[in-house]
């Protein structure tokens, strides 16, 4: 059976012998209650862990901010951070559903290009990619968007591959612009996955997309450019961040990728929970639930590392397979969720407890991971899951870009 990522990823935390990596409960429910009582009696200061143990990453959380509404932005070390999470108002005579409860701890992001779903669930931000756009424009409700872009770009003076690329870029930006008429926050737009190992190509594409948004009256602070989490992708993102173009590092499956993202000061990362889960489920021929889910554990590891060492880069869990994975990550900075799973959450009133917080992360025993290019490439290569899933993700996104281009080419005939 394949083993999950080992301690050499750089995070020294308690693990059960032979178990997948992650965070083990070290206090009972009674101890957790005592922690909360200590916190309440210490004037807001963090309580000393019982018996010298660090507070558990699971279970009730103390020190939550309350009474805030809306989301503001402040700049910290070149990165714009949310200053408050919108707290849903209590419905008179009814319980909050799980989606509403989750919004108390975490910024909810829609993982879709479907406008109606975004309107229905009222997320703060939204993410798109060529795969989602490809699926959307083949639906009757959204086919007109491609027709409009084709009409608008008919006299661009471009021909052949350049014309097709131009139309695809404008289509991606049109979807993003329309989504920003619905959500109050940001939209993520992906660069061409075929540029994942092309630093200058990625930079040029990102600048072009931002310029297209500008022509639509959209400021760059409302756009995140998605780039694959390769060494070259991080080099491109580092330059773009210096220019004020905020990046969302996608296809991220390991701590070394996350550490590199933080070092180059990207705005946000998207660790793929579900795809990590898929790999371990298939490789080990077993299922995982709740806190033992290796995808959940990976995000907890990354979140803890960031908060422990004060990195402002936002962590947005992505690619969920079930609501259990989402509930286990309550408290993560952001979670991007499909309409289907948001619907499931909205139909349940089971309690949602905060599982992640900066306070708990700061007390964790974590080793800092120092990376240069050689060590980054070795550690990524040494992690079979991360290597395979990063490569697979690039191939699949690239394939959908090609399908989108073929669809455009057919329309041009």
Tens digits of per-residue pLDDT, 58-97? Answer: 333 323 333 333 334 444 445 544 333 344 444 444 699 9
Between CA 24 and CA 53 the distance in angstroms is 11
The average pLDDT across 251-258 equals: 98
| Full-model pTM | 0.79
- Yes or no: say if 334 and 107 are a contact pair by the CB < 8 Å rule: yes
Which residues are within 8 A (CB) of 166 and not within 5 positions of it... i.e. 6 or more apart?
Answer: 153, 156, 158
Instruction: Please give the share of the chain, as a percent, with pLDDT higher than 90.
Output: 76
Q: What is the pLDDT of residue 93?
A: 47
Of 103, 107, 226, 307, which one is the catalytic site residue? 226
3-state helix, strand, coil in the chain (%, to 5): 50, 10, 40
Tokens of 248: 């969302």
Q: What is the pLDDT of residue 358?
A: 97
Helices (H), 153-284: 160-179, 199-215, 231-242, 255-263, 273-284
CA–chain centroid gap for 237, Å, is 16
Q: What is the pLDDT of residue 354?
A: 98
Tokens of 19: 């178990």
Inform me whether the pLDDT recorded for 394 exceeds 80.
Answer: yes
Q: What's the DSSP call for residue 64?
A: -
**End-to-end CA distance of the chain, in Å?**
52
389 is catalytic: no
Inform me whether the pLDDT recorded for 22 exceeds 90.
Answer: no
Listed residue (14, 65, 12, 63) closest to 40, CA to CA: 63
The average pLDDT across 25-41 equals: 42
Tokens of 220: 């760059």
């Amino acid at each position: 059976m394949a083993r999950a990522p080992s301690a050499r990823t750089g995070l020294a935390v308690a693990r059960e012998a032979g178990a997948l990596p992650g965070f083990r409960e070290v206090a009972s429910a009674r101890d957790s209650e005592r922690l909360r009582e200590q916190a309440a009696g210490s004037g807001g200061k963090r309580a000393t862990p019982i018996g010298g143990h660090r507070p558990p990453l699971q279970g009730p959380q103390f020190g939550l901010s309350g009474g805030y509404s809306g989301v503001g932005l402040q700049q910290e070390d070149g990165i714009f951070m949310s200053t408050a999470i919108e707290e849903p108002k209590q419905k008179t005579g009814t319980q909050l559903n799980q989606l509403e409860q989750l919004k108390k701890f975490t910024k909810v992001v829609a993982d879709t290009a479907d406008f109606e779903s975004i309107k229905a669930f009222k997320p703060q931000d939204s993410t798109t990619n060529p795969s989602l756009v490809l699926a959307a424009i083949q639906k009757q409700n959204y086919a007109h968007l491609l027709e409009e872009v084709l009409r608008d770009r008919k006299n661009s003076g471009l021909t052949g591959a350049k014309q097709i690329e131009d139309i695809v870029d404008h289509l991606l930006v049109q979807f993003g612009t329309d989504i920003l008429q619905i959500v109050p926050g940001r939209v993520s737009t992906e660069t061409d996955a075929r540029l994942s190992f092309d630093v200058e190509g990625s930079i040029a594409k990102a600048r072009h997309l931002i310029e297209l948004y500008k022509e639509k009256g959209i400021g760059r602070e409302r756009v995140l450019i998605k780039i694959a989490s390769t060494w070259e992708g991080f080099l491109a993102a580092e330059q773009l961040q210096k220019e004020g173009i905020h990046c969302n590092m996608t296809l991220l499956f390991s701590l070394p990728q996350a550490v590199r993202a933080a070092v180059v000061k990207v705005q946000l990362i998207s660790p793929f929970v579900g795809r990590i889960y898929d790999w371990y489920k298939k490789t080990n021929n077993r299922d995982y639930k709740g806190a033992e889910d290796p995808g959940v554990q990976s995000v907890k590891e990354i979140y803890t590392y960031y908060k422990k060492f004060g990195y402002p880069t936002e962590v947005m869990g992505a690619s969920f397979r079930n609501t259990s994975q989402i509930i286990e990550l309550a408290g993560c900075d952001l979670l991007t969720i499909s309409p289907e799973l948001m619907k499931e959450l909205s139909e349940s009133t089971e309690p949602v407890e905060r599982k992640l917080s900066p306070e708990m992360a700061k007390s964790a025993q974590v080793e800092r991971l120092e990376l240069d290019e050689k060590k980054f490439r070795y550690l990524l290569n040494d992690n079979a899951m991360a290597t395979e899933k990063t490569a697979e993700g690039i191939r699949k996104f690239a394939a959908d870009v090609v399908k989108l281009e073929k669809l455009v080419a057919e329309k041009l005939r």
